[in-house]
Amino acid sequence: MARLVAGMGTSHVPGVGAAMDNGKTDEPYWAKLFEGFAPLRAWHAENVPDVTIVVFNDHATSMALNHYSTFMMGVAESFQPADEGWGPRKVPVVEGHPELAWHLVESLILDEFDMAVTADFDVDHGLTVPMSIAYDQPAAWPTKVIPLCVNVIQHPQPTPLRCYKLGQAIRRAIDSFPDDITVGIWGTGGLSHQLGGERAGVVNPDFDRMFLDNLVNDPMANTRLTHTEFIREAGAEGIEMIMWNVMRGALNENVREVYRLYHIPVSATAYGAIILENN
């Protein structure tokens, strides 16, 4: 039987990938953040699951206004790093796991979560930057990946509660997969940040701390936040944090916080990461 072992939340700021790709991680601006990555990477090196479900959003890369899904599962054999305007990142191709991906799709739809499905999808920084944060710069990624896209950029987004319930349904699906494999799940994006408008650059460490604390001890509190509370308190793009609820919903009710990292600034954001193991 498949077994869900742990979850990670992490921001997916493109600048982190660019700093690595361009060899700038020793520069003063980046050095402290990358020092903070060291324990996170040490944990990942010891805890590589067979498959990782990466919950992220596409940023007007492979989806746009003409076609946009609320929840979409990637069922391809592999996914290429996307050209987001600078040319594709020179990182390994992301190998998929179609068998588990299709099991998730079938199980979720029968469980009332009507997933969109894609087999032709280039993955942007929302997915590749968390891979770089966890695994640095290997020749090939050590885990297979199932991309799960959530609409967080086009109103109305799914509710924070819906995201949590999706995580719970994913867990039921993992628990019913017959193969004896290990699975990880990552929620990505956030933490507080706003990129557009006169208020660009707003961050809110108190809100972020509350969200992270709730994630460990009272995850339902994070499902009661409204879209407008996220926009107001965590910035228009801080609403990405609802994707962390998918990750948390999949874990056990009781979790152990293994590591937490918080750093301002990364570009115009508050960077956050957390690793949670099932108790």
Partner 1 sequence: MISRDYDDVPGTYVLDSRSYRKGYHLNMFCMSLNKAECREEFGRDEMAYLQKFPMTDEQRQAVLDRDYILLLQLGANVYYTFKIVSHDRHPPQVMYGKMSSPPMSFEEFQEMMINGGRPIDGNRSKKESENG
List of residues contacting partner 1 (CB under 8 A)? 15, 29, 59-61, 64-66, 82-87, 153-156, 192, 194-204, 206-207, 227-228, 231-233, 236-237, 264-265, 267-268, 270
Residue 193 designated active-site: yes
Decide whether 169 or 273 has the Cβ nearer to partner 1.
Answer: 273
Beta bridge partners of 147: 54
Q: Least distance in Å: CB of 112 to partner 1?
A: 26
Calculate the alpha carbon distances from 89 to 99, 112, 130 in Å: 27, 36, 13
232's CB contacts (< 8 A; 6+ apart) are: none
| Identified catalytic residue from 44, 193, 227, 263 | 193
Q: Least distance in Å: CB of 232 to partner 1?
A: 5
- Closest by CA position to 16, among listed 143, 188, 132: 132
Decide whether 138 or 197 has the Cβ nearer to partner 1.
Answer: 197
Q: Least distance in Å: CB of 202 to partner 1?
A: 4
Decide whether 185 or 202 has the Cβ nearer to partner 1.
Answer: 202
Q: Which amino acid is at 247?
A: M
d(CA 251, CA 277): 8
Q: Residue 215's CB: how many other CB atoms inside 10 A?
A: 26
Q: Least distance in Å: CB of 21 to partner 1?
A: 14
d(CA 86, CA 104): 33
DSSP class of residue 82? P
Residue 227 designated active-site: no
| Identified catalytic residue from 12, 103, 125, 263 | 125
d(CA 271, CA 264): 6
Decide whether 7 or 15 has the Cβ nearer to partner 1.
Answer: 15
Which residues are the active-site residues?
125, 193
